[in-house]
Amino acid sequence: MAQLLDGKTLAQKIQDDLKTKIPDWVAKQGRPPGLAVLMVGDNPASAAYVRNKERACEKIGMASFGKHFPADTTQETLSEAIAQLNEDEQVDGILVQLPLPKHLDDVALLHQIHPDKDADGLHPLNLGRLLRGEQGIRSCTPAGVMEILKAYDLSVAGKKAVVVGRSILVGKPLALMLLAEHGTVTMAHSRTPDLGAVTREADILVAAVGKPNLITVDMVKPGAVVIDVGINRVVNEETGKGRLVGDVDFANVVNVAGAITPVPGGVGPMTVTMLLQNTFLSYCRKLGV
């Protein structure tokens, strides 16, 4: 059986650490760190994510400035809201909850967020800093993956790492982070011929596609570290009940891998935690620390 990489427990540990630090900073500075989350419409999944983020803020003593807009909100209204948050001294991090309704230009809105308040690490300037190896805010989910590897002393240096998925949210930034830690990185995707032949070479295999059970046991090198970023809801046709599964066939791969993240309870909790950590770091940098 593979070692389980418990992202839920690690996320709680990091949040507890922030919870301990924040009161001292509030006593010195007169205000807590502040995170603003903008949500448009009533997508149930997005609403659940936003609630989780707002609760997490409350638990650690971080101020939450949630702004919820109706589905027919205009680009101009959201643009104006972001401009106001950029100027708000109480706000250290800004997040636009994706996906947005189709009539909105999400890229333009993300670009408008001030890079120093870009809690999700998706502004071109922060992605450019990652590419150049410079200090800056890192994308939350990839940063969470790297924290898991670090917490379990799973060194990347000298290892073959394969990232399946090339999104700007996870695949591309994570490949750069693994490269920065001296891994030899291969990116695979939907047009990669013989995907299994590529993944079987991986000492560290990351699945970030959004396709249930894409990675089967025959695609995994024995003893490999398997990081499952996928979060997919599947419904039992007989009972009608849904459950979350990853991109990895966990039930079988767990018997071959050396270490593996479960779904749920693996990478997911780390994403929200890194969002909080990014906001706290922005708060500290604003104060010159």
User: What are 246-265's pLDDT values in tens digits?
Assistant: 999 999 999 999 999 999 99
Q: Alpha carbon 277 to chain centroid distance?
A: 12
Q: Is 155 annotated as a binding residue?
A: no
CA gap 226, 238 in Å, rounded: 31
Does pLDDT of 289 surpass 80? no
Does pLDDT of 19 surpass 90? yes
Where, residue-wise, is CATH 3.40.50.720 in the chain?
A: 140-268
CA gap 54, 94 in Å, rounded: 13
Residue 147 — very low, low, confident or very high, per pLDDT cuts 50/70/90? very high
Count of residues for the chain? 289
Q: Which secondary-structure segment (H or E) carries 13? A: helix 7-29
Residue 233 — very low, low, confident or very high, per pLDDT cuts 50/70/90? confident
Residue 56 — very low, low, confident or very high, per pLDDT cuts 50/70/90? very high
Residue 135 — very low, low, confident or very high, per pLDDT cuts 50/70/90? very high
- Give the pLDDT confidence score for residue 235 in this predicted structure: 86
- At residue 35, φ and ψ (nearest 5 deg) are -120, 130
Average pLDDT over residues 24-35: 94
Does pLDDT of 136 surpass 80? yes
Q: Is 227 annotated as a binding residue?
A: no
Mean pLDDT score of the chain: 95
Average pLDDT over residues 159-164: 98
Does pLDDT of 140 surpass 90? yes
Print burial letters for 203-219: b (CB count within 10 Å at least 16), e (below 16).
Answer: bbbbbbbeebbbbeeeb
CA gap 249, 243 in Å, rounded: 14
pTM: 0.94
Q: Is 167 annotated as a binding residue?
A: yes
The CATH number of the domain covering residues in 30-115 = 3.40.50.10860
If you ran DSSP here, which 8-state letter would residue 228 be given?
A: E
Was domain 140-268 assigned CATH 3.40.50.720?
Answer: yes
User: Are residues 12 and 56 in contact, defined by beta-carbon separation less than 8 angstroms?
Assistant: no
pLDDT in tens, 91-117: 999 999 988 999 999 999 999 999 999
CA gap 114, 5 in Å, rounded: 34
Residues tagged active-site: 53, 97, 120
pLDDT in tens, 188-197: 999 999 999 9
Does pLDDT of 288 surpass 80? no
Average pLDDT over residues 1-27: 97
Coil, helix or strand at residue 144? helix
Helix axes 140-151, 267-286, angle to 10 degrees: 100
Q: Is 138 annotated as a binding residue?
A: no
- Give the pLDDT confidence score for residue 43 in this predicted structure: 84
Residue 236 — very low, low, confident or very high, per pLDDT cuts 50/70/90? confident
Lowest mean pLDDT among 43-47, 269-273, 280-284: 43-47
Where, residue-wise, is CATH 3.40.50.10860 in the chain?
A: 30-115
- Give the pLDDT confidence score for residue 177 in this predicted structure: 98
- Give the pLDDT confidence score for residue 242 in this predicted structure: 85
Helix axes 124-132, 171-180, angle to 10 degrees: 30
Coil, helix or strand at residue 78? helix
Number of H helices, E strands in the chain: 10, 12
User: Are residues 163 and 186 in contact, defined by beta-carbon separation less than 8 angstroms?
Assistant: yes
